[in-house]
A and B are shown apart, each in its own frame.
Chain A
Amino acid sequence: MAQIKSLKDLESLKNSVQEIIDTRVKGNKDGLVQIKVAMGTCGIAAGAKSIYNYFLEQVDAKKLDVVVYQTDCMGRCSEEPMVEVAFPDQEPVIYGNVDKAKVDEILDKLGK
């Protein structure tokens, strides 16, 4: 481990380790957009896991202020993979038959 010999060294180390605790920081923060991916058996069978992973990848890459959770089956099994998007203090919106293209669309619209 290279020693920290200056303020700059500390800052660059901090940037590289930040992601270790990022998930925890987001979990504690209020006011973030919450994205819940249904991961009941039906969801997993319909490919929800890769949607969940793709969400996480994209949120990280675009550095969005979004926290992604997995949750249980939402009930409408024929429309899996299902995703719920909740803005703070607003009614959540549920999307059905979500694929990677839809993920991109959802995340694009978030920025606006």
Chain B
Amino acid sequence: MAKFKMHILVCGGTGCTASKSQEIADRLKSNLLDKGLENEVQVILTGCFGFCEKGPIVKIMPDNTFYTEVKPEDAQEIIEEHIIKGRKVTRLLYTDPDKKEHVADAKHMGFYKKQLRIALRNCGFIDPENIGEYIACDGYAAVAKCLTEMTPEQVINEIKLSGLRGRGGGGFPTGMKWEIASKNHADQKYVVCNADEGDPGAFMDRSILEGDPHSIIEAMTINGYAIGATKGLVYIRAEYPLAIHRLQVAIAQAREYGVLGNNLFGTDFSFDIELRYGAGAFVCGEETALIHSMEGKRGEPTFKPPFPAQSGYLQKPTNVNNVETYANIPIIILKGANWFNKIGTEKSKGTKVFALAGQINNVGLIEVPMGITLREVIYEIGGGIKGGRQFKAVQTGGPSGGCLTEKHLDTPIDYDNLIAAGSMMGSGGMVVMDETSCMVAIAKFYLEFTCEESCGKCSPCRIGNKRMLEILDKITKGNGTMEDLENLKNLAGVIKDTALCGLGQTSPNPILSTLTNFWDEYVEHVQDKKCRAGACKSLMQYVIDPNVCVGCTACARNCPVNAIQGEKKTPHTINLELCIKCGTCIEKCKFNAISIQ
């Protein structure tokens, strides 16, 4: 088969798929067919490119042209102008917001310049449903090397030397975890991939599974060899249908090609993988709850020790690792631990994938070396705050993390620095907030989530979190007292110390960090009954400007609780005690005389 001269890579991640990228790919193919170019130009659906704000993304190779916000209707123009005539479709190119000029290739974009894609190395580059493309990128060479040239101990030592730490949030040294499992003897051991990814807004693991599922299969096989496990399980949340599909295709292809199954690479090591589906419980991202869920029991955590590496699935030694942790394994084996441990900081080696979200210009998926500062991530990669507003805080670690403020902007990002700053790395969610975000409401939002997700087994989490939520609710409704704030702080501390598992132990983090960094805002809510961000509806007052109001009576006539008084043609007033803040008056006012303060 003649080689394709040009490749059109269309992003097939969930985000772009929801914006019709599959249709874009189909239309590109049919246009190529019409022009008789189907054997010269290849169209493939790849994994996530990361620049989700500007999706759907279409990349043309080899000229490295990066098209953004592409629609299915653009397919014809791309084929006719770019593919046939070599003329780039300039209106689809990314425009640099500072220089106001088009940037044709990703290498020169602010979003990509400081990124280092290791875990995401193949996402946006290969067709995840084609094992041939993975193999062309050195796929399965790492596991072949382990099985034919290294002993299990050597594999473990290499991972230990690399300094890789768990990317699910715990940050436990991966090599050490594997060593513990290898030293525990049993007739059957297990390797489990934690693909539950429960943090709201996080999609690092989803993107890796959608874009490069074979890297996980390969890494799990390496893990199996290192510890002596012949069975692998992937616990993946059912809410990820595309990732599940890609993984199923990949597993089937791996078996077909003989890289999963019996006697791999002619050795006597056999390994196979099955999928297990999560049913939407955040707590099942915690490894013991996950294991119990797989055993068919209710997803509740149990005491550690014993750790899963000693006694896990079906009470056998089990390694549970996060998707992103696994994504790093094949390349560490191929390029060596000493290549990996040169990246990052002293105690946090390698890179981290973050899901950048919130009030930021470049929302999407990024991968950066450990040690990069928050300022670089937010202002250079993230493109700064939307609408030119002021940065207020950034939440890292999702519902288990805390808020970092302006004074932390120059902190190098790594596991230990984030903990010292009152937050944590977590699985990689990074939500940026500006002056329109109310920190009390944010704390309440995360606590509502953890309350909902609490399994209920231990009192500190089941009852304590509920009580904290009630206090926060009081405060946001304007009924809080200073005593409430004291109680909140004490309760948070107690829950942190006494909860059974990570969910309960970290659920007070958003509250503790906002209390520390935004104490004034809490006091304002309690003493002045004021919400400076304008987010807590109950604290807002609807006011008619007497200089603008012409007395048309439209608001008064429509107010469902008759809270507005005034004579015709004279300025009206709203009785704040009756006002239910429904907003009808604002809707009906044709003179913009009513505002929320």
Are B132 and A20 within 8 A (Cβ)? yes
Are A71 and B86 within 8 A (Cβ)? yes
CA distance A53 to B138 in the complex (A): 28
A106 CB → nearest B CB, Å: 18
Count of chain A residues with Cβ under 8 Å from any Cβ of B? 35
In the complex, whether B188 has a CB less than 8 A from a CB of chain A is no
In the complex, whether B259 has a CB less than 8 A from a CB of chain A is yes
Residues 551-585 of B, flagged 1 when their CB comes within 8 A of A and 0 if not, give: 00000000000000000000000000000000000
Q: Contacts A7-B265, A70-B86; is A13 near B125 (CB within 8 Å)? A: no
Q: Contacts A14-B135, A23-B6; is A69 near B144 (CB within 8 Å)? A: no
In the complex, whether A67 has a CB less than 8 A from a CB of chain B is yes
Q: Contacts A6-B266, A10-B144, A10-B265; is A23 near B63 (CB within 8 Å)? A: no
Are B133 and A17 within 8 A (Cβ)? yes
In the complex, whether A60 has a CB less than 8 A from a CB of chain B is yes
Are B265 and A28 within 8 A (Cβ)? no
In the complex, whether A90 has a CB less than 8 A from a CB of chain B is no
In the complex, whether A21 has a CB less than 8 A from a CB of chain B is yes
Residues 370-383 of B, flagged 1 when their CB comes within 8 A of A and 0 if not, give: 00000000000000
B470 CB → nearest A CB, Å: 54
Contact residues in B for A6 (Cβ distance below 8 Å): 148, 265-266
Choice from A13, A14, A22, A72 contacting B85 with Cβ under 8 Å: A72
In the complex, whether B4 has a CB less than 8 A from a CB of chain A is yes
CA distance A109 to B85 in the complex (A): 28
Contact residues in B for A70 (Cβ distance below 8 Å): 6, 86
The residue in B62, B107, B141, B263 that gathers the most chain A C-beta atoms within 10 A of its C-beta is: B62
Are A23 and B257 within 8 A (Cβ)? no
CA distance A24 to B125 in the complex (A): 7
Contact residues in A for B132 (Cβ distance below 8 Å): 13, 17, 20
Contact residues in B for A30 (Cβ distance below 8 Å): 107
Are B258 and A20 within 8 A (Cβ)? no
Choice from B3, B84, B107 contacting A19 with Cβ under 8 Å: B3
A25 CB → nearest B CB, Å: 8
CA distance A17 to B258 in the complex (A): 17
In the complex, whether B114 has a CB less than 8 A from a CB of chain A is no
CA distance A28 to B262 in the complex (A): 37
In the complex, whether B256 has a CB less than 8 A from a CB of chain A is yes
CA distance A38 to B257 in the complex (A): 42
CA distance A3 to B140 in the complex (A): 13
Are B136 and A69 within 8 A (Cβ)? no
The residue in A3, A30, A41, A56 that gathers the most chain B C-beta atoms within 10 A of its C-beta is: A3
A48 CB → nearest B CB, Å: 9
Choice from B3, B4, B7, B135 contacting A10 with Cβ under 8 Å: B135
Residues 247-266 of B, flagged 1 when their CB comes within 8 A of A and 0 if not, give: 00000000011110001011
A18-73 residues at the B interface, CB under 8 angstroms: 18-24, 26-28, 30, 38-41, 52-53, 56, 60, 67-72
Residues of B within 8 A of A (CB): 3-7, 9, 61-64, 84-88, 107, 125-126, 132-133, 135-138, 140-141, 144-145, 148, 256-259, 263, 265-266
Residues of A within 8 A of B (CB): 1, 3-7, 10, 13-14, 17-24, 26-28, 30, 38-41, 52-53, 56, 60, 67-72
Mind listing 14 A-B residue pairs with CB under 8 Å? A3-B257, A5-B266, A6-B148, A14-B136, A19-B3, A20-B132, A21-B126, A24-B125, A27-B63, A28-B61, A39-B85, A40-B87, A69-B86, A72-B88
